[in-house]
A and B are shown apart, each in its own frame.
Chain A
Amino acid sequence: MSEAYFGYNIFLSVILFALGVLGVLWQRNALSVFMSVELMLNAANLALITFAQRYGDAAGGALVLIVITVAAAEAGVGLAIFIRLYRQRATIELDKATELQG
């Protein structure tokens, strides 16, 4: 039965990925940018489990677990960096981070 949703799932995951990319480019607040990246990772997870189900690969769940773990680790470190940036400068707007000229 999952084969029926295969095409739709892939399409959905591409849409979500595209939305995530849009979010990264559009949002000004660093936290929102990072949340858009999480959206991209979620899209990847969806595609991953869909492909795994389609081709009968039982490792699909293991792979999704790996991706979620990486996302969590990244979130931990990234949020720590944002906290530090905020403490130093009282803002986390990306366009205010200009001490290093781009």
Chain B
Amino acid sequence: MLSLIYFALATVAILSACCVVLSRNTIYCALSLVVTMLALAGIFLLIQSPFVAVIQVLVYAGAVMVLFLYVIMLINPRQPEPIIGNPLVRRWAQILFFTFLLLVCGWLGLLYSAEEVRGPWELVSVKTIATRLLTDFLLPFELTSVLLLVAILGAVLIARRD
């Protein structure tokens, strides 16, 4: 049962990655990337890394991709024509696709709750990660703070209007 979820997630990841690569519409590209990240987050959950899954959703899909979308809206608002020309057909396609997505998510959710995902959660608990970050990986941790400072400085410097 679990492997079914796994293969579903893997397929979604690959398909949406293909959309990222091939799409001419930047917004579709960004949204497909979000779907890929969410699928990967699901896989992270399956291999018992809940912390990483949550970080992936919150930080990567939730903050970085939102930033991408802001910038896309800012500089690329006009997008190429959608694939389906006829607006009525397009509306029905959207409704059907959305319903299909809802059903798939619901089914995945049911599968997740049915299976008891046991596992050594303690192995990759937040406490362990934090300990490693502040003891063994202290240098990379501090370097990351410099990196972020430089990024803030740079982003402001480059993008500001005078």
Query: Does chain A touch chain B in the assembled complex, meaning CB atoms less than 8 Å apart?
Result: yes
B129 touches A35 (CB 8 A): no
Tell me the interface secondary structure of chain B in the complex: helix
CB of A71 within 8 A of CB of B36, answer no
**A side interface size, CB within 8 A:** 58
Q: Mark B129-162, 1 if CB is under 8 A from A, else 0.
A: 1001100110011001001101110111011010
B86 interfacial by beta-carbon distance below 8 Å: no
Is the CB–CB distance between A72 and B64 below 8 Å?
yes
Chain A residues with CB below 8 A from B55, complex form: 61, 64-65, 68
Chain B residues, CB < 8 A from A70? 144, 147
Q: How many residues of B contact A (CB 8 A)?
A: 65
Q: Is the CB of A53 within 8 A of B48?
A: yes
Secondary structure at chain A's binding surface: helix, strand, loop or mixed?
helix
Taking CB atoms, residues of chain A closer than 8 Å to B22 are 26
CB distance from B98 to the nearest CB of A (A): 23
Residues of A within 8 A of B (CB): 1-2, 4-5, 8-9, 12, 15-16, 19-20, 22-23, 26-27, 29, 31-32, 35-36, 38-39, 42, 45-46, 49-50, 52-53, 56, 58-66, 68-77, 79-84, 86-87, 92
A2-B47, A92-B76 provided; 17 other pairs, C-beta below 8 A?
A: A9-B43, A31-B76, A35-B68, A39-B36, A42-B37, A42-B40, A58-B128, A59-B132, A61-B55, A61-B128, A62-B137, A64-B55, A72-B59, A75-B68, A77-B151, A82-B75, A83-B159
